Amino acid sequence: MSEKFAAVEIISAKRDKHELSNEQIAWTIDAYTRGVIADEQMSALLMAILLNGMNNREISKWTEAMIASGEKMNWSMLDRPTVDKHSTGGVGDKITLPLAPVVAACGAAVPQLSGRGLGHTGGTLDKLESIKGWKANLSNSEMLKVIQDCGAVICAAGAGLAPADKKLYALRDVTGTVEAIPLIASSIMSKKIAEGTSALVLDVKTGSGAFMSDPKDAALLARTMVNLGKDAGVKTRALVTAMDVPLGLTAGNSLEIRETLEVLAGGGPSDVIELTLLLANEMLDAVGIKPKVSPEEALKNGMAMDVWRKMIAAQGGDNDAPLPVAKEKMEIKATATGKLLTLDAMKVGVAAWRLGAGRQKQGEVLQLGSGIEIHAKPGDLVTKDQTILTLHTDEVARFERAIDALSGGFSIGGKDDEVKRLPLVIERIEG
């Protein structure tokens, strides 16, 4: 088949800071999906986009082309409205896990199509695969049945849903192009629009552990995605939230499942609970549900846990099987007595990644028990030699590089020193 363009033309145009035409964009996504554009060529284009950006029209057309590469889902047969949430990712961000069953327990249907880890950030599917037997890949009919039976499903996007994004997502992870706003926005919104949900709440992270460390960049990303959703007829709103410090007290796959179970049992870290409830209320409001039981009550009275256990079992998971535990552990201790002033989310995330909780290359098998437990957060008083972090891995040799990543990762000051942290919610954006 004769092609309209050559990949090198497209790469060169964006390299030289030119706008891509609608036709060029449509061809690029289609050609990459068909295998006409090779990975090394698309890698070059992604880097050019990272460095030189895209305008709103290009982002919109790139997103449309990604949607057009596959099918669109339809949930009109359900007896309740659908609403989804997406986070741009962070360290210890396990919010999807308790959130989906909470919102389902309050009366909405939650088709939560999730992804795998990108760089130093964890992936929801990777975490869930810590549960024996649980399967991420469901057919559309299986997905529908789980939602009908349980109120929520957390699974991988089907092969037919924005297949172009599936290829691009994996490529971005290993080519240093994760952080590009056009690529983040189009990746997220192509899947979410194709998913067919009636409303979407975005959790856009900012701070050292987020892809958008600057709150202004995070707000720009949030607005870009809200506008993409609005243009596609999906009720979309966004919260810009803090990721300067890890969320909760764990970073790593099975460790975060354990913490999720604590939250669903009515306990767990206060920041995880607070953000879960904030997002749950946004999701319910977006679809006009005034629940008889509040999200807070659903956590406390066991309703959310019931949905969780039913959902996990429906996807083949054994709720009662022990979670993976790493073979080796090492404690990182406080070097002085005083107040913990900082705990750098990025450094913790990279360390967890190096311990085996994240991938160095496409398709790499994770160490599901690896990661980091956090024993103190900024504002806490600590004593010299108190354990601040516990590192978990299956391979002793990984400790050295993880410790290197943690260099300067936390600081201790006087008990009266001020702790400077971002507020949990920095900005709210609605289309």
The residues annotated with a catalytic role in the active site are 86, 165, 172, 187, 191
Structure token pair of residue 421: 């942290």
Residues sharing a CB contact under 8 Å with residue 140, sequence separation 6 or more, in sequence order: 73, 158, 160
- Report the amino acid identity of residue 108: A
Degrees (nearest 5) of the Cα angle 29, 30, 33? 85
Residue 386 carries which DSSP code? -
Of 195, 183, 198, 157, the closest CA to residue 88 belongs to 183
377 to 165, 231, 273, 382, 385: CA distances (angstroms): 36, 41, 16, 10, 16
Q: Computed from CA positions of residues 261, 263, 267, 269, in that sequence, does the dihedral angle turn out positive or negative?
A: positive
Of 366, 369, 359, the closest CA to residue 327 belongs to 369
In the three-class reduction of DSSP (H, G, I as helix; E, B as strand; rest coil), residue 260 is classed as helix
CB neighbours of residue 264 within 10 Å: 24
| Bridge partners, 201 (sequence order) | 85, 237
Degrees (nearest 5) of the Cα angle 381, 387, 390? 130
